[in-house]
Structure 1
Amino acid sequence: MDKFSAMQAFVRVVEAGTFTKAAYSMGLPKPTVTRLIQELEKELDTKLLNRTTRKVTVTVDGAAYYEQASRLLGEVHELEASMSRAKASPRGKLKVDIPSSLGMAVIIPALPDFYARYPDIQLELGVSDRPVDLIAENVDCVIRGGEITDQSMVARRIGEFYIMSCASPAYLKRHGTPLHPSELDDAHYSIRYVSGRNGKLYTFKMHKDGEVVEVGGRHQVSVNDSNAGVAAGLAGLGVLHTLSFLVQDHISNGTLEPLFSGWCTEPKPIHVVYPPNRHLSNKVRVFVDWVAELFAQHDLIQRKSSLPKFMCSAWAASAAALPETTEKLDALNYSVQSMS
């Protein structure tokens, strides 16, 4: 027995006063409505309606059941209506955590477009690089760079980031221009990044024509924030190794100069991550889709053919494969469990 349909049929019979009118209002044959009521009475082991050739009356048990059933159906209809309204115009508070670099350089400047589409969503942005416990902190989704190791989360890959080396003209005038990454260990200072989690200094690998160099270098300044690193680089405090999209404008206007032409670093993935939930709320869904669309249009996140000339040639060479890669990622959509 379809208990929900039987409950609806019973309520309509009580309100319409006859089986014929109830069946007509529900768009069902009269025998179907009769069968549903009979099965409901059998299931409840009680008589709900008294039937005569002229009218239908409600029993004492039927009256009690009608009161509860009509209230329950009303709540279901209200829930369905609220979901429909939310789908048409997502609304409410959305708690999102984003890295400071991506937030300041890419996401926040684009938010006017998001609000032009979804004016009723209230964003609470956590801008940090610290690990966030989505469940404990009641965060709807996070955007993170690097591999996702938490297998309990759902992740959607939406782009990649790249590290490049550069320095201010003032620094290069004082110390000269390094031509090989290995020179950073002896004759130059690097602006180093330190982990906010464990205090360790980051290193990374650069490669060219089969040669691989691990880059660290001496330092006078270390930072735990990418934007602070850019500020230190602009101040001439050392060679800066940072995200390409953070320094594109500075290189274009000459306040920073690119180094180590032809040397590459391996790209790292960017994911939007959220807790597993079969009923992903529409406000989360539209934000995830919006940020994926935003990143898909960003040259320095998606390696499009319009990359500036200073970028590593290997990145540009791999750009030809991007449409196929993007298509595959879009096909995965929300069903992908976190990638590692």
Structure 2
Amino acid sequence: MDQLSAMRVFVRVVETGNFSRAAIALNMPKTTVTNLIQGLEAHLRTTLLNRTTRRVMVTTDGALYYERASQIISEIDELDGSLSNSQAQPSGRLRVEMAGAFADLVVIPSLCDFHSRHPQIQIDLGVGDRLVDYMAENVDCALRAGTPTDQSLIARKISEIAMVTCASPVYLEKMGMPTMPEEMAEGHHFAVGYLQAQAGRILPMEFSRDGETRDIVPNYVISANDARSYLTAALTGLGVAQLPLFMAREALADGRLIRVLPMWQHEPLPLYVVYPQTRHLSNKVRVFVNWLVGLMRDIDK
């Protein structure tokens, strides 16, 4: 038995909670995964995993072994990486998650540049703002707006996104120009609501002026949990919206959107790359993150 390979397989089974998902993540047959786990248990003379038809549960011995094994594997990967990073071209599949607006408007249009620098990296791009199970889905990193709250993730701030409050001419002709943030909540005006799907709530609109900050829970006709749909609703005339400037810039330039409440600002939104603490920051992830830093640096210029 190749004990190191068996340890890697065991760690991935624990992290994914499933033999089949571990086999897919490791790109090996499920029978090989099963045989390696059985061989490891025979070698250790203990049961590491309890199997049922629906799930895999870690035993007490298995939990102890996982803690040490994952640490050992991480240290081995880090050692190998430190010796090979300066010599080897980063390669392999890179699983990345990000919102559709970032993907469509910022990242994908620039990916030819990344590919020319790192032609041996394949990017598997997941698009959306959904809650991600990083281990089970084998996600290497994600691009997220707003300060992360998940303590199991390592977060690196790479940029800040300028925000703008705006509405369409169709909306303003019908409802008039708002003069105070409170009008968004008092029925004088409508906003486009942004639905935070995980929490099931509408995010408040944020307004700041001269050190004063107001959070307004808006009155809305429609809410959306996707930035592109949110933009479409604003362009259609369904309400006042607070948008990243990079999303609204073209519509502001051609008059399809008009800035409102210019004396009240939305604080810039922090942008983070996040990845699991238990996952070694491989060379392919490192070069992608560094590329993103450069890409986002000039996003609002």
Q: Smaller-chain TM-score range? A: 0.5 to 0.7
RMSD: 2.4
Q: Match for 1:234: what amino acid?
A: L
2-structure distance, mates of 1:186, 1:177: 14
Structure with greater proportional helix content: 1
2-structure distance, mates of 1:278, 1:147: 20
User: What is the TM-score when the length of structure 2 is the normalising length?
Assistant: 0.67
Q: Name the structure 1 match of 2:232.
A: 231
Q: Name the structure 2 match of 1:160.
A: 160
Alpha-carbon displacement from aligned partner over 1:246-292 (angstroms, at most 9, x marks no partner): 10111111110011112112233211112236853211111011011
1:288 is aligned to 2:289: yes
Q: Which runs of 5+ in 2 are unaligned?
A: 1-79
3-state secondary structure, aligned to 2:202: coil
Residues 176/122 of structure 1: CA separation in 2 closer, same or farther (3 Å cut): same
1-structure distance, mates of 2:205, 2:97: 25
Q: Match for 2:176: what amino acid?
A: G
1:110 is aligned to 2:115: no
Runs of 4+ aligned residues of structure 1 deviating over 6 Å after TM superposition are none
Q: Name the structure 2 match of 1:182.
A: 182
Give the deviation of 1:89 after TM superposition: 2.5
Larger radius of gyration: 1
Q: Name the structure 2 match of 1:297.
A: 298
Does the Cα contact within 8 Å between 1:87 and 1:282 map onto a contact in 2? no
Q: Map 1:13-24 to 2 at 5 A.
A: none
Q: Name the structure 2 match of 1:321.
A: none
Q: Name the structure 1 match of 2:210.
A: 209
Q: Map 1:59-78 to 2 at 5 A.
A: none
1:263 is aligned to 2:257: no
Q: Name the structure 1 match of 2:6.
A: none
Give the deviation of 1:88 after TM superposition: 3.8
Does the Cα contact within 8 Å between 1:167 and 1:239 map onto a contact in 2? yes
Give the deviation of 1:295 after TM superposition: 0.7
2-structure distance, mates of 1:99, 1:107: 10
Q: Match for 1:259: what amino acid?
A: V
2-structure distance, mates of 1:190, 1:279: 43
1-structure distance, mates of 2:147, 2:236: 32
3-state secondary structure, aligned to 1:102: helix
Alpha-carbon displacement from aligned partner over 1:40-82 (angstroms, at most 9, x marks no partner): xxxxxxxxxxxxxxxxxxxxxxxxxxxxxxxxxxxxxxxx89x
2-structure distance, mates of 1:85, 1:148: 29
1-structure distance, mates of 2:237, 2:273: 34
Alpha-carbon displacement from aligned partner over 1:171-210 (angstroms, at most 9, x marks no partner): 1111111122222222211110112113211103312124
Does the Cα contact within 8 Å between 2:165 and 2:266 map onto a contact in 1? no
Give the deviation of 1:86 after TM superposition: 9.1
Q: Name the structure 2 match of 1:337.
A: none
2-structure distance, mates of 1:279, 1:222: 38
Residues 197/85 of structure 1: CA separation in 2 closer, same or farther (3 Å cut): closer
Q: Match for 1:200: what amino acid?
A: R
User: What is the TM-score when the length of structure 1 is the normalising length?
Assistant: 0.60
Does the Cα contact within 8 Å between 1:155 and 1:273 map onto a contact in 2? yes
Q: Name the structure 1 match of 2:9.
A: none
Q: Name the structure 2 match of 1:173.
A: 173
Residues 259/87 of structure 1: CA separation in 2 closer, same or farther (3 Å cut): farther
Percent identity between matched residues is 40
